[in-house]
Structure formats: C-alpha cells, structure tokens
Amino acid sequence: MNIEKTAVFPGSFDPITVGHESIIRRAIPLFDKIIVLIGINAEKKSMFSLEQRLKWLKDTFSDCPTIEIASHSGLTVDFCKQAGANYILRGLRTAADFEFERSIGQTNKSLISDIDTIFMLTLPEHSYITSSIVRDVFRNGGDVARFIPNKINIKS
C-alpha cells in the first residue's frame, strides 16, 4: 500500500523569505505534496494582507506542481488532519529555534499522535534572515530584494 507523504509547512510568511523558499524547495524530493500554510492569528497584526501573502507564495512556487498554498485559522494539526498530512515541516536557524520548535512539535504530537514534525536546517547564508528583519528593513526604506524570493517584489 502506497500512502502519499504530505507535509504542511506553516508560517505567517509576512513576508516569505529566501530562507522559507530554500527549506520548501529542498524538501520537495522528500514528500509527494507540500502544503504551504499561512496560519491566521487574529491576535497578531500582519504588515501585509493575507491576499498579498497568498499571491506571493503562489508566484514563488508557480513552477512546483507538488506544492499547494492554503490558509487556516486554528491549530495546524487540525488542518493536517483535514488535509490528510502526516508531517509538519519546519526550518531551524538557531538552537533557540530548535528549543521553541521542539516544544511545539511535542505538543502537536500529544494532540494528534500520527503527525510527525520534520526539521530541516536553514542554509548558513540564510540563518540571519527573518520576516521580522525584512519588515523592519522595508519599513525603514531599505532594499529587501536579497531577502525575498526573486519572483516577488515588495514596494512601499
């Protein structure tokens, strides 16, 4: 019996960075399908609209037939169950990321035992890039082109 390996890569993607893109593209050979999921948190104010972030993700991965783009409000594991995904994919930049992501992964595993979290290390050249830094550079008039995927353009 061949079971499809589907992973969910959740995040706010406010905006997507080259680090996010790298992790997702490097994971393509590992899974039959990857769903890039924008998590909607009503308590968190995003700089860019949900529609804009969805468009950026679709544009970034338009050449990848095994990648789907979605959004969801609620627990990631609930989305995984609905989508038939058995894996949550996460990128790690630092030891602090690992500690934070490990806690979330263990919580998710305790909520739904057949969903595993898979960690991939960020490439060294992307380890300092975060969406928060990109937003700060953008907000202060800096050029963010080197921090975001080539297929998207952020203008003030």
Tokens representing 152? 């998207």
State the pTM of this model. Answer: 0.94
- Residue-wise pLDDT tens for the chain (156 aa)? 567 999 999 999 999 999 999 999 999 999 999 999 999 977 778 999 999 999 999 999 999 999 999 999 999 999 999 999 999 999 999 888 899 999 999 999 999 999 999 999 999 999 999 999 999 999 999 999 999 999 998 875
Report pLDDT for 117: 97
Give how far Cα 73 sits from Cα of 12, 48, 65, 108, 132, Å.
Answer: 11, 17, 25, 16, 21
Report pLDDT for 155: 72
Q: Cα–Cα distance between 8 and 10 in angstroms, integer?
A: 6
How many CB atoms are located within 10 Å of the residue 114 CB?
9
Q: Cα–Cα distance between 149 and 151 in angstroms, integer?
A: 6
Report pLDDT for 153: 86
Report pLDDT for 45: 86
Report, as residue numbers or ranges, the catalytic residues: 20, 44, 93, 131
- DSSP label of 122: P
Report pLDDT for 19: 97
- Amino acid letter, 72: H
Tokens representing 127? 């380890």
Place of tokens 């590992």: 30
Tokens representing 153? 């353009």
